Structure 1
C-alpha cells in the first residue's frame, strides 16, 4: 500500500457526497423474507429492481452477513487512487459476497486476509500488468467460461459509475455490458434465470 491519502477532485467530491447518503440496510429475516430498514429512500428507488431480483433469484447465490466494512473500502480506494463506483459500494456494504455459476464476483476482503484471498478486487488489481492498469481496467468477474468482466474506470459518469465491460476471449473485442455494477448484476440475473418459471 502506498500510504498516500486519496485526494478527491471536485467531481469525485460530489460522488463522495452521494456516498454519504448511501443506503444502509439492516437485514432481519422474518417469515422467510428479508426486510430492509432504509436510511435514504432515493437509493431504495435506485436499487429497487435489483433488490427484488436478488430476493427471488437462483442465478446468483449471495450470502447473508458477509457485508464489507466501509473502512476496508476506503483503504482499497486509497491504494487504487480512484473511487469504487456507487452501486458497487452499495453492493459491498449491503451484500458483499456472491457466487454466479460457481465463481465469486470479486469483493473487498478484510486487510488482514487480503494477501491470501484471490477474490479480493485489490489483490487481483495488484497482479495486473501496467498496460491493464493504464487502460483503466479493474477486474470484476471471471466466470468459468471464455469471457471476463471489468470496470472501465475511464468512463465515470456524473454519479461516478463505471461501465462494466465484457471481453470475449475468442474475438478479443471488449463490449459495454452494462452502464453500472447494478446494471451488470441485473443483466446477469435476467440472462441466467430460466424463462419458464
Structure 2
C-alpha cells in the first residue's frame, strides 16, 4: 500500500521519515480502545511500517510509546484528549496533522469506516470551514508530500 512512499519522500527535502520508529501493535489496540472506534486500515499499516512522517517541523500524528504519551505533541491520543477537553471540533473528528499554519487536518469518523477508511478533512483557519481533502489516509499522505 505504501510502496511508493519512500521514493516520494526522497523527492521532497522538507519531508522526512525516520527509520526504526514503527509502532508496537499493542499501542494501536490501546488507541482504538480509548477512541472507542477502530483506526483506519491505511493508518494502521503506516503505523506498523513507518510510524512517523514530518513535513518541515510538523509531524503527522502517530502513537507515541506509553511512557511519553501524556507529553508527546506528536501523539494522536494526546491530541484527542486535548481536543476532548477543549471542545471545538465537530463530533467524530480526530486530529491528524496540525501544522502551525493556516490549516489543519482531521480524520472524519462521523459516519464510521467506509471500506475500512475514514476520509480526511482540511480546516481552513482563515474562515473556519472544514472541507474534504482526501478519501483516506494513504491519499492524504500523498497529497501533503506532493504539496511540500
CA RMSD of aligned residues (A): 1.8
Could you say which residue in structure 1 is the equivalent of 2:21? 66
| Stretches (4+) displaced over 6 A | none
Q: How far does the alpha carbon of each residue in 1:143-196 deviate from its partner, in whole angstroms, 9 at most, with x for none?
A: 1201110000124212x210110000111111111011110010111122xxxx
- Pick from 81, 88, 98: which aligns with 2:36? 81
Unaligned runs of 5+ in 1: 1-45, 193-197
Alignment partners' CA distance in 2, 1:89 and 1:55:
22
State the secondary structure of the residue aligned to 1:128.
helix
CA contact (8 A) 1:50 1:182 kept: no
Secondary structure, counterpart of 1:167 in structure 2: strand
1:108-166 Cα offsets, whole Å, 9 max, x none, are 011121112111100110111375566101001111201110000124212x2101100
Q: Distance in 1 between matches of 2:36 and 2:10?
A: 34
**TM-score, length of structure 1 as denominator length:** 0.68
Q: Which has the higher contact order (CA 8 A, sep 6+)?
A: 2
Name 1:100's counterpart in structure 2: 55
Matches within 5 A, 1:108-127: 108-127=63-82
**TM-score (norm: length of structure 2):** 0.89
* Structure 2 unmatched ranges of 5 or more: none
- Give the number of equivalent residue pairs: 146
